[in-house]
Structure 1
Amino acid sequence: MTNSDGPTIGATIDTDRNLDNILGIPVEIQVVLGSASMLVSNLLKLGRGAVIPLDHRVGEPVEVVVNGRVVARGEVVVVEDDNSRFGVSLTEIVGTGNVSKPEAFN
């Protein structure tokens, strides 16, 4: 959308509109505390109060997954406003190889 005189105003408006459309797309965010494997026979024996040991230890980073892709790692924290809720303090942004950690996380 450029001409010999430079970019056109319409190109900027279309870009802003497209960005607004993209920013409005909902995504699924998950925080993975760990995982475990077990036989179906053991799974069927589980009842209320059963504990399933996970492969992560306390204090190890958790993974933040957006639409099935790991995008960050962080530490589990208690939300200051409500001690009955947990949150994640991001410590690392996972890039595609050429993206480094933002300065705020260094």
Structure 2
Amino acid sequence: MSQAIDDVSMELTVVLGQTMMPIRHLLKLGRGAVIELDGHQDQPVQIYANGEMIAKGEIMMAGENIAVNITKSVKNYQRT
């Protein structure tokens, strides 16, 4: 059974916030540039799997790593 799981690929995206910026500013950004977002530290983040929102969560520190704690599922799935 674990081999079946090894063959599954999924793109996960965590949205911390959003911003609007002209394309000319985006093209001028260099390595290490900081982009200010509209989100706040305590605001829930949105979690997407393959482009579809599946959950909300919160950002946490796990040692020196940044982690996402899932707090609410927003999708109902049926097992087959």
Which structure has the larger Rg?
A: 1
**Residue of structure 2 in register with 1:78 after alignment:** 61
Q: Equivalent of 2:36, from 39, 53, 76? A: 53
- The answer for unaligned runs of 5 or more in structure 2 is none
State how far apart, in whole Å, the 1-side matches of 2:31 and 2:55 are.
32
Identity across matched positions, percent: 37
Q: How does 1:9-48 map to 2 (within 5 A)?
A: 23=5, 24-48=7-31
**TM-score (ref. length: structure 1):** 0.58
CA RMSD of aligned residues (A): 2.3
The alignment covers a number of residue pairs equal to 75
Please state which structure has a larger fraction of its residues in strand: 2
Q: Give the deviation of 1:84 after TM superposition.
A: 2.0
User: Structure 1 or 2: larger helix share?
Assistant: 1
Unaligned runs of 5+ in 1: 1-16, 100-106
Q: Which has the higher contact order (CA 8 A, sep 6+)?
A: 2
